[in-house]
Amino acid sequence: MGTEGENVRVIAGRYRLESRLGRGGMGVVWRATDELLGRQVAVKEIPLDIDDALSVDEARRQRDRTLREARAVAQLRHPHIIVVHDVVEHDERPYIVMELIDGGSLADRISARGPVDAAEAARIGIALLSALRTAHEAGVLHRDIKPANVLLESGSDRVVLTDFGIAQVAGATTLTETGSFVGSPEYTAPERMSGARTGPESDLWSLGALLCTALSGESPFRRDSLGGILHAVVFDEIRPPVQAGPILPVVRGLLERDPDRRLDAAEAERMLRAFRDTGRSPQLPPGYTPTQRDVPRPPAPTPPAPTVETRRSTRGVLVAALLVAAMAGAGVSAAALLMNRDGADGGRTPTSSAPETSVSASASSGTPSASSTPSASDTASSATATHPSAPSGYRVADDPAGFSLAVPEGFTRKPQGERVFYMSSGETFRLGIKVTEPEAGGPLAVMRRAAAKGPDSNPGYHDGKVTATTRHGHDAALWEFTWNGFSTAEGPRHTYDLCWEEGGQMYDVWVSAPVGKVREAKEYFDVAVDTFART
């Protein structure tokens, strides 16, 4: 029996649970002392869904499956996989005893210090890919890779993949597959969403989403509802963030919707190591044939009217997403719902249609869709073969200065010297564009010089960061910073600014917004850079 004291329990006769470190979807983690060996450990207490509907035999089978899977994870030996010391059962409840990592998670680091740069993202990715190769070779899938499940050890910055609590030994049926959605939807592969299959490739998709989050601070699939997230994963365009530019081929290869075409762990690790060694964007493997999203697309003819089957397929995805959102609280399996959409596609998922860009558009953020008519000085047009279409809530503006881009509906044009602004009502959001002759040192040098003068041009300038990246294959630099605004009434603001050279010109596109509205600002910025075209 366990010893009960002042919030202290001893389980299995040796592990004294002392303080709770955290709680997740798959259990409570305790700081504990192994009284037999005199060392600090972490103990995960696994809850079991045992109720009156389960017989004694069924409850026992559930416990046995959980323990069997935990013991399989305990056999893994890798410097970047959490060490499992012991798997015990106490009062008919499983506990996993693990090494205690002194340090927070990658999610904690992003929250406290912001996104990491490309070199650090590559370092983390290399460690996780190496860990996953070991797990997959042993037949163990993680199934919940996300920043919260990656620990960074204090002092050494060792990267540790943890929380195999919903891991599945390949080929086994697990407790977690009996009804409710398993994992984190923003990081879940589309084939798992559709119920088609779950394999090592699904973990690699999750890693691709994790790298985007580490680089930008937000998953490219974040939306305001579960239905929106599922639709983004299964159906929407995939737009990696601009910060992913230096390692964009890796991110794109991992976020390939067709699992058979997804970049494998060995190649992804090789590419990231090449980037760390050379500082140059890695090349895809020789045998990799890019999908349509990876090659320049010719001008598209006017699309034919949708067929009945096309309408049914699109409707099926939309309805499935809405059903999942509505039924999630009732414990209905998301995978089962999506697997049964229309019943005619055999579980196939669409191939990613991400455009030739390294920019992320977070289509979820409640973008204003005001239908106000643009001013006479601002020309808007629908998409043609010469420039991209505008997302919902945006319009394509053909600017007299020789470029076009998508701007939010309701934004009006206000030129100021060599700069052109598109501004929201009250100038809360300011989208700026400047076209100049190339300058010495290229975009990176230009942005670094601007950042050095940041305190002079932007009152209260702080947290400035310049990152080398690319846009549509052209060298670019991203400058991001926070400042106090031009007046007390205006208040603190945050700015995203991308500079690149193309066609003998230097282009600079930026968005400035109140610090409390950075999510909307990031979307406006990403869409503007993504859709920008010379005219």
127 phi/psi in degrees, rounded to 5? -60, -45
Say if CB 149 and CB 163 are below 8 A apart. Answer: yes
- Interatomic CA distance for residues 89 and 43, integer angstroms: 12
Give the CA-trace dihedral at 183, 132, 267, 335, to 10 degrees.
-20
Measured CA distances, 167 to 196, 226, 398 (Å): 18, 22, 51
What per-residue string of b and e applies to 305-327 under the rule 16 or more CB within 10 Å gives b? eeeeeeeebeebbeebbbbbbeb
CA 476 to chain centre: 22
Say if CB 143 and CB 203 are below 8 A apart. Answer: yes
- Interatomic CA distance for residues 528 and 507, integer angstroms: 12
* 203 DSSP assignment: H
In this structure, are strands 15-24 and 412-416 parallel, antiparallel, or unpaired? unpaired
- Tokens representing 383? 């998409």
The catalytic position among 34, 86, 144, 530 is 144
Q: Measured at the alpha carbon of residue 26, what is the angle toward residues 23 and 30, in degrees to the nearest 5?
A: 40
* 7 DSSP assignment: S
Residue the block writes with tokens 């929250």: 111
Is 144 in the active site? Answer: yes
- Tokens representing 469? 């990246």
Question: Which of 245, 481, 225, 246 has the alpha carbon at shortest distance from 363?
Answer: 225
- Interatomic CA distance for residues 532 and 528, integer angstroms: 6
Say if CB 397 and CB 380 are below 8 A apart. Answer: yes
- Tokens representing 263? 């970049």
For 471, the 3-state DSSP assignment is strand
Say if CB 147 and CB 107 are below 8 A apart. Answer: yes
Give the CA-trace dihedral at 478, 479, 482, 486, to 10 degrees.
-120
- Interatomic CA distance for residues 20 and 12, integer angstroms: 18
Is residue 515 exposed (0-12), middle (13-18) or buried (19+ Cβ within 10 Å)? middle
Say if CB 458 and CB 483 are below 8 A apart. Answer: yes
CA 117 to chain centre: 15
110 contact partners, CB below 8 Å, separation of at least 6? 116, 147, 213, 214, 217
Number of H helices, E strands in the chain: 13, 22
Active site residues per annotation: 144
